[in-house]
Amino acid sequence: MTRSLYVRTVLVFIAAVIVSLVFAFVLAIHMYSSNVKSLAEGQIIAHGKKIIAELSEASPADLDAVMANAVEVPGLRVKIMDANGGTVAYGSGGSKQGTPITEAQLRLVLQGGIYRGMVSYGKDEHAGPSFLIGLPFQLGDRPYALYITPEIVRLLDMFRKFTLTVLGYVLAAGSLLILLAARYIVKPVQRLTDATKRMAKGDFGVVLASKRKDELGVLTSGFNEMAGSLRMLDKLRSDFVNNVAHEIQSPLTSIAGFSKALRTKALTDETRGRYLTIIEEESQRLSRLSANLLRLSVLQQDRELHNPGAFRLDEQIRRCVIASEPQWRAKDIEPELELDGVTVVGDADSLEQVWHNLISNSVKFAEAGGRIAISLRREDDAAVAEVRDNGRGIERDELQHIFTPFYKADRSRDFAVKGNGLGLSIAKAIVDMHGGSVDAESEPGVETRFTVRLPIRPDAAFA
């Protein structure tokens, strides 16, 4: 039961309230007692002097009556003692033995001193400890001692009971508020826990509504963002599996179909050769798909550069353009090059694949006799390479997906153009591994531009 965050929160809050109330109660009693004592002491001494004045002015014949009347003071215990320690008079608020006076207390007052101290009553009294004031006076040549004890203990008891009652109500009301507050605090956490359990079971469609602006609101927003990312990843995983199955199934179907057709004896040599060519091309397609999948998997798992070195980036791009000459010659395209001399530090083999993929991609989708422009320049501490073509282009809503594995913006040409939708994904993974970025811009029918930014390491410089 105590493992519940709700129960723990409630118990901690209630414990804190109880400790605070006990401290407040003790402090209030102490301050109240101190204030009452300091305020009452002066008034008691003044009242005692008034009693002494009345006794001093009384005639011997009226002394007993005046003394009996003087000791009757509401809220005070009054006691008059003679030099022998005998009680001469006492008020109705106490008893003849009620206020215990020690020999030292009596001697101090009879010698002319004023006594201030505490006194404890007998067990049959319900007043408890209180403070005692002793004043000296004389009637004729006989010394007397006047002792006064205020009956504030009852008042203190009433105050204690009242305070305890108030604190009890405060504790009850506070506990109720704590229960509500704890539920307000813990409920979002419980919802997050339930949502997490649902996500653990594969339900990524969880969305938590929250209008809170505090830390729990931020946590809920973060959870929703995480859930959205997981939904997207789950969809990408599902699409990835479907795409892999599709990309593998298509060439396998072709290979199986044409292999079966080759069993027909009536085929001409020309037809047989064409079928064998198709089988070979589809086999190569499967091989490229397998190699690209392996390459992409390695890049996504291992993001460290293993063979970094300084090299001329402009020369590397120029070699890639020359290597792809059969492709752009076949389309009657003459690439436009504007390459500044830039030296960078990185994995040369990996970056070479980036340029091959981008250039091949532009050549594939450029119109015959079209235009391809490749440039390289340095901007601050980065090398910026651009590959532009004037092909059909990519729609705006498709640009954000083109680096997704197996995504093909030009679906209508899937079978006319060789490719499996992994080239741009691999290129982006390699650029990311180098701490750079790759972006795409396109205006359909006008121009498509891929921009690669690579950081230049401190030991790299212009040639």
* CB 305, CB 434: distance < 8 Å: yes
Coil, helix or strand at residue 207: coil
CA gap 168, 186 in Å, rounded: 26
CA gap 270, 294 in Å, rounded: 36
In CATH, what number does 215-298 get?
Answer: 1.10.287.130
| Among candidate residues 383, 328, 388, the one with its CA nearest the CA of residue 358 | 388
**Quick one: pLDDT at residue 336?**
92
Mean pLDDT computed over 384-410: 79
To the question of domain 5-156 being in CATH 3.30.450.20, the answer is yes
- Residue 461's pLDDT band (cuts 50, 70, 90): very low
- Write out the DSSP string of 279-314: HHHHHHHHHHHHHHHHHHHHHHH--S-SS-EEEEHH
**Quick one: pLDDT at residue 338?**
93
CA gap 32, 21 in Å, rounded: 16
Please tell me what DSSP assigns to residue 404.
Answer: S
pLDDT tens-place string over residues 148-207: 887 665 556 666 677 777 777 777 777 777 777 777 777 777 788 888 888 888 787 888
**Quick one: pLDDT at residue 460?**
43
Enumerate the domain spans of the chain: 5-156, 215-298, 304-455
Q: Which residues, in sequence order, are CB contacts of 33 under 8 Å at separation 6+?
A: 156
pLDDT tens-place string over residues 357-389: 899 888 888 888 888 999 999 998 899 999 999
* CB 67, CB 80: distance < 8 Å: yes
- Residue 318's pLDDT band (cuts 50, 70, 90): very high
pLDDT tens-place string over residues 65-96: 877 777 777 767 788 888 888 877 777 555 55
Residue 209 has pLDDT above 60, yes or no: yes
Architecture category of domain 304-455 in CATH? 2-Layer Sandwich (3.30)
| Four-residue CA torsion sign, 282, 286, 291, 296 | positive
pLDDT tens-place string over residues 15-49: 777 777 777 767 766 666 666 566 567 777 888 88
CA gap 402, 423 in Å, rounded: 10
CA gap 207, 211 in Å, rounded: 13
**Quick one: pLDDT at residue 56?**
84
Coil, helix or strand at residue 197: helix
Coil, helix or strand at residue 415: coil
Please tell me what DSSP assigns to residue 412.
Answer: G
One-letter amino acid identity for 371?
Answer: R
pLDDT tens-place string over residues 210-229: 777 777 778 888 888 888 88
**Quick one: pLDDT at residue 383?**
94
- Residue 313's pLDDT band (cuts 50, 70, 90): very high
pLDDT tens-place string over residues 127-146: 456 678 889 998 888 898 98
